[in-house]
């Protein structure tokens, strides 16, 4: 069983975004595997870089879509995205020490953040986007 399993309730009703969210879960699951294998600090930092790179791409995609459709809560959503990237970057600097405690904290943070962000924050734009497309 993976560290985070996809659940149907994660769907925001927009296929491309669901696909990107699944990809994020995959990267986090890979990171978990790398850490379980007693991954060296270098390997862990590398997968954190992958995560940051893909997260930036995904957030930019989401924000562009929300901006283009005039989503009223975009600014707050954007702030949450920025705060998440800043937090993972802070973990990346700490992960360079190779500390297992940092790895554990990072994984806990990612699991909580991603599931809560999708279920609470992303779900808020679901009706807006699906309604926009139907209109």
Shortest CB 80 distance to Fe ion, Å: 7
Q: Where do we find the tokens 């893909």? A: 54
CA-based nearest residue to 12, from 108, 121, 134, 135: 121
Instruction: Say if CB 29 and CB 3 are below 8 A apart.
Output: yes
The residue range among 37-45, 46-54, 86-94, 118-126 that interacts with Fe ion, by the rule CB under 5 A, is 118-126
Q: Which string of b and e fits 22-49 if b means at least 16 CB within 10 Å?
A: eebbebbeebbebbeeebeeeebbebbe
The CB density around residue 127, as the number of other CB atoms within 10 Å, is: 11
The residue range among 12-20, 63-71, 96-104, 116-124 that interacts with Fe ion, by the rule CB under 5 A, is 116-124
Q: Is 55 in the site for Fe ion (CB under 5 A)?
A: no
| Binding letters toward Fe ion, positions 72-111, x by CB under 5 A | ----------------------------------------
- 3-state DSSP assignment of residue 92: helix
Shortest CB 43 distance to Fe ion, Å: 28
Q: Which is nearer to Fe ion, 64 or 96 (CB)?
A: 64
Q: What distance in Å separates the CA atoms of residue 104 and residue 87, rounded to the nearest whole number?
A: 14
Shortest CB 16 distance to Fe ion, Å: 13
Q: Which is nearer to Fe ion, 94 or 117 (CB)?
A: 117
Q: Is 114 in the site for Fe ion (CB under 5 A)?
A: no
Q: Is 14 in the site for Fe ion (CB under 5 A)?
A: no
């Amino acid at each position: 069983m993976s560290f985070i399993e996809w659940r149907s309730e994660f769907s925001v009703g927009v296929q491309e975004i669901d696909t990107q969210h699944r990809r994020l879960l995959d990267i986090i699951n890979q990171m978990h595997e790398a850490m379980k294998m007693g991954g060296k600090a270098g390997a862990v930092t590398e997968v954190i870089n992958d995560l940051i790179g893909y997260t930036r791409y995904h957030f930019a995609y989401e924000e562009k879509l929300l901006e283009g459709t005039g989503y009223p809560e975009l600014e707050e959503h954007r702030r949450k995205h920025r705060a998440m990237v800043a937090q993972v970057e802070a973990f990346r600097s700490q992960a360079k020490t190779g500390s297992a405690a940092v790895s554990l904290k990072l994984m806990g943070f990612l699991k909580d953040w991603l599931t809560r962000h999708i279920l609470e924050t992303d779900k808020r734009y679901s009706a807006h986007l699906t309604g926009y497309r139907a209109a």
